[in-house]
């Protein structure tokens, strides 16, 4: 049985620090909902402050796809789609409304449009050849490759650029995967606060997470045996905290670089959401600026 049959999915997306979780939780309380996380890093156990799980916000609202794999393990779009299918089945049995909430556009799009490019095999030789290239160099390589129809690469990080190059290269010489059929009916709502407010929230939230023990969290992950290379791979908080803890950065440089990179990440998230719209996904960008009015706007449309 396909658990996506006749599913009416409510989707909440937006860049980091836009208030997605708070909105999704409040909506879940009003419409008997359950939340499925669409965050590529919140799946990892023990990576809490750096990924902004904010589990205290959920209260008695059930949530899925958070803390489902061990830190250090590899997770990908294919597994995510499978896990979403399973979560939808559980939520359906409970008679609850599924709410997909997060900022990983690639994961959200894979659920809603179901492209099968996740089945393209890994090419270790190509990955080794690309390992030392900068983001700009990787983007230049990708720009030189014809992209298969329906493939919208996420270029926000080095690892995703490498994967995009891997997929585009494979499709040059192999039959191209086709979009998978999906019967998920989704209504997508987007949060996009003014840049000045977003920047203020990001900086304030970073300071709060450092005060709450972000560096201690990363040190614990390192002490538990997770290689530094793996934490660098996760990017942002885990990359820069690891570099600081290993003595590669002093504290002020660590803080400034991390803050800057989170702002850049939020901008890349918005770029990806705009690409989703160009690919045919309609996003209702909420005009309201308070939680109450946002809820009313969503429920009026949904």
Mapping DSSP to helix (H, G, I), strand (E, B) and coil, where does residue 49 land? coil
Q: What is the pLDDT of residue 116?
A: 65
Q: What is the pLDDT of residue 152?
A: 73
User: Which residues, at least 6 apart from 203, have a Cβ–Cβ distance to it below 8 Å?
Assistant: 259
Contact indicator for 275, 15 with CB cutoff of 8 Å: no
Phi-psi region of 186 (alpha: psi -120 to 50; beta: other; left: phi over 0): beta
Q: 100: closest CA among 89, 86, 84?
A: 84
Q: What is the pLDDT of residue 177?
A: 56
Phi-psi region of 54 (alpha: psi -120 to 50; beta: other; left: phi over 0): left
Burial class (CB in 10 A: 0-12, 13-18, 19+), 136: exposed
Q: What angle do CA 204, 205, 209 make, to 5 degrees?
A: 120
Q: What is the CA radius of gyration of the chain?
A: 19
Q: What is the pLDDT of residue 175?
A: 63
Q: Write out the H or E segment, with its range, that includes residue 189.
A: strand 185-190
Contact indicator for 238, 228 with CB cutoff of 8 Å: no
The edge-to-edge listing of strands for the beta sheet with 8-13 is 63-64, 33-37, 97-102, 8-13, 185-190, 283-285
Both tokens of 265, joined, read 């990440």
Q: Is pTM beyond 0.85 here?
A: no
Q: What is the pLDDT of residue 241?
A: 97
pLDDT tens per residue across span 42-97: 999 999 999 999 899 999 999 999 999 999 888 888 889 899 999 999 999 999 99
Contact indicator for 254, 3 with CB cutoff of 8 Å: no
| Weakly modelled stretches of the chain, pLDDT under 70 | 1-6, 115-116, 149-150, 175-183
Q: Write out the H or E segment, with its range, that includes residue 120.
A: none
Burial class (CB in 10 A: 0-12, 13-18, 19+), 27: buried
Q: Write out the H or E segment, with its range, that includes residue 155.
A: none
């Amino acid at each position: 049985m396909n658990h996506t049959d006749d599913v009416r999915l409510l989707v909440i997306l937006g860049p980091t620090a836009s208030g997605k979780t708070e909105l999704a939780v409040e909506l879940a309380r009003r419409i008997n909902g359950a939340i499925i996380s669409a965050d590529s890093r919140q799946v990892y156990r023990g990576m809490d402050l750096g990924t902004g799980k904010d589990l205290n916000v959920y209260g008695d609202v059930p949530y899925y796809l958070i803390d489902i794999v061990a830190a250090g393990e590899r997770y990908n779009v294919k597994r995510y789609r499978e896990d979403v299918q399973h979560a939808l089945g559980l939520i359906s049995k409970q008679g609850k409304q599924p709410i997909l909430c997060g900022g990983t556009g690639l994961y959200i799009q894979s659920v809603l449009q179901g492209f099968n490019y996740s089945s393209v095999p890994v090419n270790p030789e190509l990955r080794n050849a690309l390992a030392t290239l900068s983001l700009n160099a990787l983007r230049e390589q990708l720009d030189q490759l014809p992209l298969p129809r329906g493939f919208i690469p996420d270029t926000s990080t080095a690892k995703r650029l490498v994967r995009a190059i891997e997929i585009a290269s494979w499709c040059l010489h192999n039959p191209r995967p086709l979009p998978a059929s999906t019967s998920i009916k989704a209504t997508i709502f987007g949060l996009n606060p003014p840049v000045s407010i977003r920047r203020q929230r990001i900086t304030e939230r970073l300071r709060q997470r450092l005060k709450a023990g972000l560096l201690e969290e990363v040190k614990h992950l390192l002490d538990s045996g997770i290689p530094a290379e793996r934490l660098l791979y996760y990017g942002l908080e885990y990359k820069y905290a690891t570099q600081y803890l290993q003595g590669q950065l002093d504290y002020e440089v660590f803080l400034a670089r991390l803050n800057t990179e989170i702002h850049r990440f939020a901008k890349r998230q918005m770029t990806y959401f705009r690409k989703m719209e160009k690919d045919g996904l309609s996003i209702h960008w909420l005009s309201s600026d308070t939680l109450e009015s946002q809820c009313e706007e969503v429920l009026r449309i949904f």
